[in-house]
């Protein structure tokens, strides 16, 4: 078997390796192939493993012996599943490998906003605490989470984990999901009601035709004045100009983002200069333990496929 990794550097490094894949055959690892390089690189592959590489009818056209595509991710919008289905190529994703880490990052962002961690750290490092007349300077306003309403858009595994953490903070939790979900201590409400009642709106839905540009000028206008918007899902659910405008007008009290529409961030990304906007570079899924778990799931998926019992099949 020939196994080709098309964008290995987006997953592995010296701490998390792909060594476990060698049990299945020859492993050819490419750090980060350009789109025009993919077709030739995978032409003789039996298995292709990727994270964000676009595998469409053009990049797959030469891969005549390809039997399996494994994704180092839960989302698979970069794969042409119709083409794969028509050509007998099984596609498997990595399931819920990052549930805990994304929920952790969600609250890291929320706490960074409400506890003003970065601002107070700068205050101290700039020597201002040394010059303070009091031991506890009230320079930046702080807020408790207890009693605040968290609105979760998307009550899948990650959304439910976020809800459980919110419950521990004694928050009120409401949620919106396309289908009814029975989640402990979460009241499922309409999308508009969630927007109007939430102090914090946290997005955990997949990017698809229904969610693309879901958060736009109209959506933000329906949110509470001063509310916090958090997105650790996909950048494509947000119209970034509209988010910028909502922050600049101070209708929103802040935004915390781990994802953008274009990644890496573009030089002229408007959110770079937005008020009260915390941005991390799509690292919610990236803790060492999480990436190790991901590699194990991908290996298990290959093993199960070869044994005739494929798991996490999306096509």
Exactly one of 23, 144, 263, 273 is catalytic; which is it?
263
26 is catalytic: no
Name residues whose C-beta falls within 8 Å of residue 164's C-beta, 6 or more positions apart in sequence.
103, 184
Query: Degrees (nearest 5) of the Cα angle 107, 108, 114?
Result: 80
Domain boundaries, the chain: 2-97+288-306, 99-279
Q: Using 50, 70 and 90 to split pLDDT, how confident is the model at 95?
A: confident
263 is catalytic: yes
Q: Is the pLDDT of residue 152 over 90?
A: yes
pLDDT at residue 234 in the model: 94
Exactly one of 30, 234, 291, 293 is catalytic; which is it?
234
pLDDT at residue 12 in the model: 96
For helices 99-115 and 288-306, angle between their N-to-C axes, nearest 10 degrees: 160
Joined together, the tokens standing for residue 53 give 């590489």
Closest CA to 101 of 309, 247, 305, 280: 280
Q: Quick one: DSSP state of residue 206?
A: P
pLDDT at residue 184 in the model: 95
Closest CA to 256 of 103, 107, 104, 101: 107
Q: Is the pLDDT of residue 215 over 90?
A: yes
Q: Is the pLDDT of residue 16 over 90?
A: yes
pLDDT at residue 119 in the model: 97
pLDDT at residue 135 in the model: 97
pLDDT at residue 142 in the model: 97
Query: pLDDT tens across 258-268, in order?
Result: 999 999 999 99
Instruction: Name the β-bridge partners of 238.
Output: 215
Query: pLDDT tens across 111-128, in order?
Result: 999 999 999 999 999 999
2-97+288-306 and 99-279, same CATH topology: yes
User: What is the homologous superfamily of the domain 99-279 according to CATH?
Assistant: NAD(P)-binding Rossmann-like Domain (3.40.50.720)
Instruction: Note the helical H segments in the chain.
Output: 35-41, 81-86, 99-115, 117-125, 157-168, 191-197, 217-222, 240-248, 288-306
Strand ranges of the sheet holding 2-5, from the earlier edge strand across to the other edge: 26-29, 2-5, 47-50, 68-71, 90-92
Three-class DSSP category at 238: strand
Instruction: Give the start-end residues of each E strand in the chain.
Output: 2-5, 26-29, 47-50, 68-71, 90-92, 149-153, 172-176, 187-188, 200-203, 227-231, 252-257, 277-279
Closest CA to 294 of 110, 18, 109: 18
Give the number of C-alpha atoms closer than 13 A to the C-alpha of residue 126, restricted to the C-beta side: 8
- Angstrom distance (rounded) from CA 62 to CA 291: 30
> What number of other Cβ atoms are within 10 A of residue 59's Cβ?
24
Q: Is the pLDDT of residue 77 over 90?
A: no
Q: pTM, whole model, 2 decimals?
A: 0.92
- Enter the CATH code of domain 2-97+288-306: 3.40.50.720
Exactly one of 204, 282, 291, 312 is catalytic; which is it?
282
Q: Using 50, 70 and 90 to split pLDDT, how confident is the model at 14?
A: very high
- Angstrom distance (rounded) from CA 283 to CA 119: 21
- Angstrom distance (rounded) from CA 128 to CA 131: 5
Q: Is the pLDDT of residue 96 over 90?
A: no
% of the chain beyond a pLDDT of 70: 100
pLDDT at residue 279 in the model: 98
- Angstrom distance (rounded) from CA 193 to CA 289: 37
pLDDT at residue 26 in the model: 98
> What number of other Cβ atoms are within 10 A of residue 27's Cβ?
19
């Amino acid at each position: 078997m020939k196994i080709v990794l098309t964008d290995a550097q987006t997953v592995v490094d010296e701490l998390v390796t792909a060594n476990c894949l060698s049990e299945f055959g020859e492993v050819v690892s490419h750090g980060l192939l350009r789109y025009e390089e993919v077709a030739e690189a995978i032409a003789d592959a039996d298995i292709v493993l990727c994270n964000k590489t676009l595998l469409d009818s053009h990049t797959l056209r030469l891969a005549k012996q390809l039997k399996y595509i494994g994704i180092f991710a839960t989302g698979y919008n970069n794969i042409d599943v119709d083409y794969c289905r028509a050509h007998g190529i099984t596609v498997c994703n990595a399931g819920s490998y990052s549930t805990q880490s994304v929920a952790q990052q969600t609250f890291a962002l929320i706490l960074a906003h409400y506890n003003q961690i970065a601002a107070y750290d700068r205050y101290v490092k700039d020597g201002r605490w040394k010059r303070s007349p009091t031991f506890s300077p009230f320079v930046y306003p702080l807020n408790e989470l207890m009693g605040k309403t968290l609105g979760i858009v998307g009550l899948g595994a990650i959304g439910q984990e976020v809800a459980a953490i919110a419950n521990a903070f004694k928050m009120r939790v409401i949620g919106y999901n396309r289908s009814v979900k029975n989640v402990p201590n979460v009241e499922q409400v309409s999308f508009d009601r969630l927007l109007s009642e939430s102090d914090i709106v946290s997005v955990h839905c997949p990017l698809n035709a229904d969610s693309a540009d879901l958060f736009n000028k109209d959506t933000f206008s329906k949110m509470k004045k001063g509310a916090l918007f958090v997105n650790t899902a996909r950048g494509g659910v947000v119209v970034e100009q509209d988010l910028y405008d909502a922050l600049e007008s101070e209708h929103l009290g802040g935004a915390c983002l781990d994802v953008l529409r274009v990644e890496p961030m573009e030089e002229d990304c408007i959110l770079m200069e937005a008020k009260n906007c915390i941005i991390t570079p799509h690292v919610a899924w990236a803790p060492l333990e999480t990436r190790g778990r991901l590699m194990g799931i991908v290996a298990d998926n290959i093993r199960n496929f070869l044994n005739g019992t494929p798991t996490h099949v999306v096509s």
